[in-house]
Structure 1
Amino acid sequence: MAPSKKKHASGLSCIVPGGFTELSLKFTSDSVASHKLYVKEHKVRAEKTSHRPMDRTLFLLNVPPYCSEVVIKELFSQFGCVQSVELRDHPGSSQESGPTLSRFFKPAEKQGFKVGYVVFQNSSSVSAAKSHPHGTPLLVCTEQRAVKTGVQKWIQQYMQSFSHPDRLQQKVDSFMQDYDKRKEEEAERQRKEAKQQEQDEEGWVTVSRGPKGTKGRPHSEAANKRTLAKEIRNRKSKELMNFYTWQHKNTQKEQIADLRKKFEDDKQRIALLRAQRKFRPY
């Protein structure tokens, strides 16, 4: 996104189209080139989550690869206390629900420019970051905060890729414990649903009141399985008749012949009764 061509004073913030504020970013104080970082207050009505409150979240664009979450947190700490920082490849919803995985079980992150979400503890910090003077760049690498790049960064990442066996085993055990706990909770939930949808011999379902505020479920997966199994048993218990088309036609012919024979017998019985009737006036 190209910034506006209008000249800005060094003591004022630079606003670009889209409502973004342009912040100047330098790697060191001696760096000649500067990087442009675009920030904006995060306002998404569809995303109602406590992870990114709209009044305390700052949305970042064009975050360079050498800026990690730790670096971003320290850079924006000058505007106020930072609660959390999240960097993503693309803007989107907050973190997916599920177990928290260790870095050893996650796929390798893509190296490139990212977007970020900075959550402050106070809403005034968002305004302070947006009103930062354009002529005062933010320094990434200082004496107190050394940021490694190039070969040194690659060596650091390579050394961090190894894990101590005991520590790795501890992470695996912790993950398996959480997995077993989730499986037990799921099994308990299915048992409760099966109990609520329990059927008697005549097929009636016992409906019980669930916790307050929960919506009733007319059918459950367990109840549907039981109903299907009952239908299959009923079908198997019955004799399989008229499986082929010719059998069905022969059965129809036999039924028609039986009906005709019965009709003729009825006609003969009626004629015999009429012949036996006699006129008796006295």
Structure 2
Amino acid sequence: MTLQGFKAFLVKFSTTSSTYRWLFVKEHSVRERTEGKPSGRTLFIINVPSYCSEECFKRLFEPCGEVTAVYFHQKPSASLSPMEDSSIFSKNLSIKGYKVAYVVFKTPKGLQSALKWETNVPLILSTEESPIVTGLKKWYEEYNSRIVDPNSMQKEIDMFMEKFDAEERKKAQQEKEAMEEDNEGWVTVTKKGRKPGLARKESVRKRIMSREKLKRSQKELHNFYTFQIRESKMKHLVNLRQKFEEDKKRIDHLKQSRRFRPY
């Protein structure tokens, strides 16, 4: 059965299951080439149930040829998922719901055999020899797998900190060597400030720049334009005249208060 370029395979969960599903497959062919998903040897599969595993797909397509790798993604992707440096602090979470799969064969012959494969019986995903864990048992295993051994975690943390400290020492040594004069007397400017050991961090630099920006926004240009200078002079003259009149009144008032009045 073929539908819009996809070949359809009828599958069911187990021999006792009464529910059937369809897997739609075709050759993986994109412009962006990836070493992990080589052209001519990769099978692209959609409508993959969430419980399908790598072992399940390897066993399913072994009759077509040797399978070297199986990749699962939430949606089609030409690239591979990033490699995990830690087995404890993992970022790649399990995919929920339906997903897509990429099956990589060892030779192009395996891919061509899968595309031409004709079967009259549904393919079984879970067998007695290779069962797929579901339900409560799967939840138990997922929960137990999240319980971390303290010794293993501490060992991984120590290894990470040793690697981090080594990189920091290497960076400090490179900056120290860069600040030294070369044969021609030139000195390379680095992030280090005048005080040794004090680095101009990005957070400090942003804080200083934000303060300067605030100061500039609060500043106003006084007497910058010609009309501003003229208006300021007029206001100054008006203030002087007003002050002169007030002083005259105050002096007259003082004179009146000093006069001798016997009656």
TM-score normalised over the length of structure 1: 0.57
Query: Using the alignment, how far apart are the partners of 1:27 and 1:108 within structure 2?
Result: 24
Shift of residue 167 of structure 1? 2.3
Shift of residue 78 of structure 1? 2.9
Query: Using the alignment, how far apart are the partners of 2:42 and 2:167 within structure 1?
Result: 32
- Distance of aligned partners of 1:73 and 1:169 in 2 relative to their CA distance in 1, 3 Å threshold: farther
Query: Using the alignment, how far apart are the partners of 2:149 and 2:155 within structure 1?
Result: 10
The CA RMSD over aligned residues, in Å, is: 3.7
Which runs of 5 or more structure 1 residues have no equivalent in the other structure? 1-13, 206-220, 224-243, 250-282
- AA in 2 matched with 1:64: P
- Distance of aligned partners of 1:65 and 1:183 in 2 relative to their CA distance in 1, 3 Å threshold: farther
Shift of residue 98 of structure 1? 6.4
- Total equivalences in the alignment: 195
Select between 135-144 and 168-177 the one with higher mean Cα deviation: 168-177
* Correspondence list, 1:132-281, <5 A: 132-177=117-162, 179=164, 187=171
User: In the alignment, what sits opposite 1:6?
Assistant: none
Shift of residue 174 of structure 1? 4.1
Residue 71 of structure 1 aligns to a residue whose secondary structure is: helix
Residue 79 of structure 1 aligns to a residue whose secondary structure is: coil
User: In the alignment, what sits opposite 1:30?
Assistant: 16
TM-score normalised over the length of structure 2: 0.61
From 26, 32, 52, the counterpart of 1:67: 52
User: In the alignment, what sits opposite 2:91?
Assistant: 106
- Distance of aligned partners of 1:179 and 1:118 in 2 relative to their CA distance in 1, 3 Å threshold: farther
Asked if 2 retains the 8 angstrom alpha-carbon contact of 1:23 and 1:132, the reply is: no
Shift of residue 107 of structure 1? 5.3
User: In the alignment, what sits opposite 1:83?
Assistant: 68
- Distance of aligned partners of 1:199 and 1:25 in 2 relative to their CA distance in 1, 3 Å threshold: farther
Q: Write the deviation string for residues 77-116 of structure 1: whole angstroms up to 9, x where unpaired.
A: 3322211111111112323556534254325334111111
Shift of residue 202 of structure 1? 8.5
Query: Using the alignment, how far apart are the partners of 2:75 and 2:113 within structure 1?
Result: 25
Shift of residue 61 of structure 1? 0.5
- AA in 2 matched with 1:131: K
